[in-house]
Structure 1
Amino acid sequence: MIEPLSPLLIEPAVKAALLEDLGRAGDLTSQATVPPEREALVVMRARQPGVVAGLDAARMAFRLVDSDLRCSVQKPDGAEVAPGDIIMAIEGRARSILTGERVALNFLGHLSGIATATREIVNAVEGTNARITCTRKTTPNLRALEKYAVRCGGGINHRFGLDDGVLIKDNHIAAAGGITAAIESARGHIGHMVKIEIEVDTLEQLQEALGAGADIVMLDNMGPEMLREAVAINAGRAVLEASGRVTAETAGPIAATGVDIISAGWITHSAPCLDIGLDYESSL
């Protein structure tokens, strides 16, 4: 079971999308062509294989337009779908359904695309101890939804923002005066429940980071051979995260090196939208 997002996180994004789409005059096309009393049954149907995510956002888009619309989920978030599978059926006023259609499909297609991309990489590392995580490379104001979609695909989440974890990157190291100085300064600043992660791109930097007591070390753009050396040097002292050039093809060899975490930014910022359509089944 995937724990659903709170409506408090979903509604502002969906409401903003509807306001953007409806503008000042509403849905002129549906108002001009569809009788107000007409009721319909429509289905949201997968047009390509993938993993579903974002049903609560899609359902909210319809219900914010018309609270009387009835939505029936056939394939829950996290489910795999094949072309032709019905994901959700919607019944009620035809005008309302058509008004909410695009916003609902935008959320469902985008988030399902993220879940699908994540699942491909998760499947590629099956049989290893590595876990797949996202990053903060997300669409502005959609981070909670996109990270939820990663979980629907079988991945885990990196930090949600700057306020819930320390991640010291190359520019922080330069500004702080070095790896040891950055870690020691961070340790003196944070509370006992906050972990410190630091990004390195050489084995020498890894050794310094371990000596300074880093909890997590991000191994940036290292090939499998160097990653194996890093795992040996680490000897279980810190959590090791591999990052850079991660695809479904490269994830397996990266995972086989023994790293703990593999992070990929593109699964949220560049995952292709899953092709899902809304088909008019009948007037009621």
Structure 2
Amino acid sequence: AKAVLQFAEKIQPELAHWIEQNIAFPCTMVDSITPATDEALISLAADKLGVEDAWPIQREGFTQWVVEDKFSGPRPAWEKVGVTFTDDVAAFENAKLRILNGTHSTLAYTGILLGKETVYEAISDSALEAFIGRLLSDEIIPSINAEGVMDLPAYAEDILNRYKNRHIRHLLAQIAWDGSQKLPFRVLNTVRDILKLGQQAKLLCVPIAAWILFIAKRASDQEELVDPLAETLIGLANQHQGDLAALGAAVLNLPQVFAELTANKWFKDTVLEYVKVLSSINGDNAADVLGAL
């Protein structure tokens, strides 16, 4: 709305006034897992369909479209075809960011530590599934205020079931891209809200620690790190090669990622403790390691 009004103001102030008085701009949110297309999907589509599609798209069957019930006149009865009308789109957006995107990133970084390739493989690991369940029930869901808007436990359960779709090949490496941009919204804001309540967010420190180990591995393997801060992060990993504690401390001091959390001793100490713990995790000890956190 702001962009339209500013543009109209520049070309015709009367038009801007009319728009402001007569036009509504409902907020919306959409959700349907749609992994990025890669060569494997292109080959699979050609094999299954018998035609060459230069850019096939895979998408799960689940769809969600949430629309703010804020119109300037009569609106379509889209609720008859599955659209959710609400006065509080922000609650749905916040739930999606923390429950879906937050657990996606957690599965990505911890799953990669255990040699998993896809979301389906990661959630099929009993140790990871149990940890994600605890993360949701103990920390993420209690941090969200959606009373009277949505059933958060049911929403979370639906998301876990969506992860178990073996037909969707959602690479953990894709989800792990751009961690410095994604984690502040998906994980760190939840940490902040929990700390403001005087409580601890121990389990949410796990994806941060796993991300630091992910950076270290990309650097040691000389593989590309897809991240807007890639040069900085790989530089720190190379500078502190072999010293995970020093690397972790350096990453946790990046204000462009952690903002005021760079000064939170409890948060930094907990993440560094988990960097040490997770550095030796494997398929044999995952249940014990994650269960003890």
Q: TM-score range by the shorter chain?
A: under 0.3
Name the structure with the higher helix share.
Answer: 2
- Tell me: higher relative CO, structure 1 or 2? Use CA pairs within 8 A at least 6 residues apart: 1
Name the structure with the higher strand share.
Answer: 1
